[in-house]
A = this chain, B = another copy of it.
């Protein structure tokens, strides 16, 4: 399915593009994607994957030189695909990259050097990692993800309330405990072997997409593999674009995603924040007669009092101004949310004025 968005060139939405991810990305229109999720290769032996600049062959390479040249080649590759990825992002777009200690430090430094602004590094703590059989190191029980905005000023998407709800009402932390991909979720080929060596669990993508995209957003994955990103995106009502070089992976991914059903509207609804709700000027409460000019408001802690004026400002002892300004001044605080700070009296009881705002908002949504 290819969809045309207002005025912009066509985006190959919900398809898997074949070929090299850098070329494929450069063929897409710039500033057209909301989120990029990338699980790049990190095996330094796969030089063919790395677009290594054609170094002259030196026979007697010692280990250190060889190591340096492979890091250097990996850096070239990383910077090339990150540059192409950044071009595709909308100004308020963001990127997630996952990796291990073999490559993540190089990826992180490259992100910073290219102007991406790191928002968090997130640790995927595997609940069932492979043990270190030889007992020579610690069990490698986690992978690292970097979440970064396109630049410092990007107004990135962050569904704080939805993630908080996912975490039983407590703010989501930067360490996520999730099992690795096994059992029925792990895709197999005809001979029963795993179809892809590093298939990521859907739970990981679920949390990423819930937290940093909205329904209808476009999510691009330049190292699509067997399509976990696409499967979760489709389920969650996001559009995806996948890029994958290997035909076998593309085939597995196509079949997999075809089986996925988009959740219905109700299931897709997530907890929203107060910030997303329409603004209500305090003056409207006066205009509508919900509060009378001259009426007294009382502070939450009952220590202060102020009078409502006809223009929607307050006047207290030696202070006048907005509900927020007067609250802050009386408390000697740098700021104050007047809506939750002030109460009015109703039948002798103190009621937060925020209740009146909620009434107005309820009427607006009808």
Binding site for B on A (CB under 8 A): 49, 51, 55, 57, 63-64, 67-68, 71, 100-102, 104-109, 111-113, 115, 118-123, 125, 127-129, 131-132, 135-142, 144, 146-147, 151-152, 158, 160, 163, 168, 171-175, 177, 179, 211, 273, 331-336
Contact = CB atoms under 8 A, between A and B. Distances in A.
Given A174-B140, A333-B177, A105 B109 contact: yes
B332 A101 contact: no
A71 B71 CA distance: 20
B104 A120 contact: no
A106 B115 contact: no
4 residue pairs, one from A and one from B, having the closest CB atoms: A105-B108, A141-B173, A101-B121, A127-B334
A131 B171 contact: yes
Given A55-B334, A168-B332, A175 B105 contact: no
A51 B334 CA distance: 9
Contacts of A109: 105-106, 108-109
Contacts of A163: 138
A142 B123 contact: yes
Contacts of A68: 113
B101 A335 contact: no
Contacts of A107: 105
A124 to B, nearest CB: 10
Most chain B CB within 10 A, of A101, A115, A140, is at A101
Nearest to A45: B152
A71 B113 contact: yes
Contact of A135 (B113, B160, B334): B160
A146 B101 contact: yes
Contact of A137 (B51, B67, B102, B119): B119
24 contacts: A49-B334, A57-B334, A67-B115, A67-B152, A100-B121, A101-B108, A105-B105, A105-B107, A105-B146, A106-B108, A106-B112, A120-B137, A121-B144, A122-B138, A123-B142, A127-B335, A128-B334, A136-B160, A138-B147, A138-B173, A138-B174, A144-B144, A168-B332, A179-B334
B122 A123 contact: no
Contacts of A335: 51, 55, 127
Nearest to A112: B71
A107 B104 CA distance: 11
B174 A141 contact: yes
Given A55-B333, A125-B175, 18 more contacts: A49-B334, A67-B115, A71-B112, A71-B113, A100-B121, A102-B118, A105-B105, A105-B108, A106-B109, A108-B108, A120-B138, A128-B334, A131-B171, A132-B171, A135-B160, A136-B158, A137-B158, A141-B173
Given A139-B171, A140-B174, A123 B123 contact: yes
Contact of A125 (B101, B125, B132, B137): B125
A298 to B, nearest CB: 19
A115 B68 CA distance: 8
A50 to B, nearest CB: 11
A349 to B, nearest CB: 25
Contacts of A115: 64, 67
A296 to B, nearest CB: 23
A94 B334 CA distance: 31
Contacts of A106: 105, 108-109, 112
Nearest to A153: B63
A146 B135 CA distance: 18
